[in-house]
Amino acid sequence: MPASGESESSGSGPGAAPRAAPPQRRESPPSDGAGMDVTVADEQSTPVNLDEVDSLARFVLGIQGLPAGTELGIHLVDEVTIAAYNKRFRDRDEPTDVLSLPVDEIPAGRKDAPAPSEPDEPPLLLGDVVVCPAVAWQRAPERTGELRSEVLLLVTHGILHLLSYDHEDEPQAAEMEALEDDLLARWSRRQA
């Protein structure tokens, strides 16, 4: 199957005009985040598998019970950009590995969001997760050991923050870390 932007022949004979391939939709089982509106924007130069990031995000949203139509943005940015966001949103003048920027707040203690009560109700705008692969690469040796695993952990971590998970104290940190490990292990098994 051709990649996006390539074309296929529309006819069977010589001289048949090429036609654009129809847009490809990702179909996935409900627990994999079917119906979620996930956008992954790569705005930096470190190689990252965007399909994996998208797949993991949809999986986490689905497993956590978010309603179809939930919108999430994931932005992969450079150190300068994440440092500017960190200064703007957290008043910290340094790069960081991940930031979670909520739009529709999920109440504390709620780990999921209710489905819209009316069919015409607007979708849940969960927010944005901003990840800096360059900082992830610097920190990976002391945590996951390699860039791919570190980026996937940070995406999961950022989504869980948008779902009101936190790590302000030991019990919260232990709960969040255990959930991250579980979600990543379950997603990895589905990829095998």
What's the confidence (pLDDT) of residue 108? 53
Are the C-beta atoms of residues 137 and 46 closer than 8 Å to each other?
yes
Nearest Cα neighbor of 45 from 147, 139, 127, 129 is: 147
What's the confidence (pLDDT) of residue 124? 86
What's the confidence (pLDDT) of residue 192? 84
The CATH number of 42-191, from 3.40.190.10, 3.90.79.10, 3.40.390.30, 3.50.30.60, is 3.40.390.30
**Domain range annotation of the chain:** 42-191
What's the confidence (pLDDT) of residue 12? 35
Q: Which residues of the chain have pLDDT under 50?
A: 1-31, 109-110, 117
Cα–Cα distance, 77 to 88 (Å, whole number): 15
Cα–Cα distance, 85 to 101 (Å, whole number): 10
Task: Print the SS3 string covering the chain.
Answer: CCCCCCEEECCCCCCCCEEECCCCCCCCCHHHCCCCEEEEEECCCCCCCHHHHHHHHHHHHHHCCCCCCCEEEEEECCHHHHHHHHHHHHCCCCCCCEEEEECCCCCCCCCCCCCCCCCCCCCCEEEEEEECHHHHHHHHHHCCCCHHHHHHHHHHHHHHHHCCCCCCCHHHHHHHHHHHHHHHHHHHHHHC
Are the C-beta atoms of residues 71 and 125 closer than 8 Å to each other?
yes
What's the confidence (pLDDT) of residue 105? 76
| Global confidence as pTM | 0.79
